[in-house]
Amino acid sequence: MILIFILSSVPMDGGPDNIAFLTNLDPGLQNLLHIPLYGSLAFLWLYAFVSSGLLLRKAIVLSILITIGYGCMDEFYQSFVPGRYGGILDILLNSLGAAAGLFLGTVWYRRFRGYQL
């Protein structure tokens, strides 16, 4: 979540040359990067909850709520960063990533760890 916050804090209206690789990315690619980023976040939440002994079903629900909630707050935060904006498309991509990460995590836990929903 700290990494996402740092990436969200990068102004897109110019800035230091050492972050040009981020600011010069194609906007379509920048949008698509939301999917693996939030998928990884959701998977990590799932892993943390299941490792702490929570049932898989409850871990999935909590993971999706936290990940999508954080994605919404992050988009709101970005609306205050110069050259950035918070958008519904980004929230949808965050949610898609979270769902994909939890789907893969659920398959992994059920198939290789023997967990049941």
Q: Return the amino acid letter for 113.
A: R
Q: Please state, in angstroms and rounded to a whole number, the distance separating the CA atoms of residues 104 and 112.
A: 12
Q: What is the mean pLDDT of residues 39-59?
A: 97
Q: Tell me the two tokens of residue 11.
A: 């102004």
pLDDT of residue 27: 74
Contact 67, 38 (CB under 8 A): yes
Q: What is the mean pLDDT of residues 98-114?
A: 94
pLDDT band for 41, please (50, 70, 90 cuts).
very high
How far does Cα 77 stand from its chain's mean position? Answer: 14
Q: Return the amino acid letter for 4.
A: I
pTM, 2 dp: 0.87
DSSP state of 113: S
pLDDT of residue 113: 86
How far does Cα 57 stand from its chain's mean position? Answer: 20
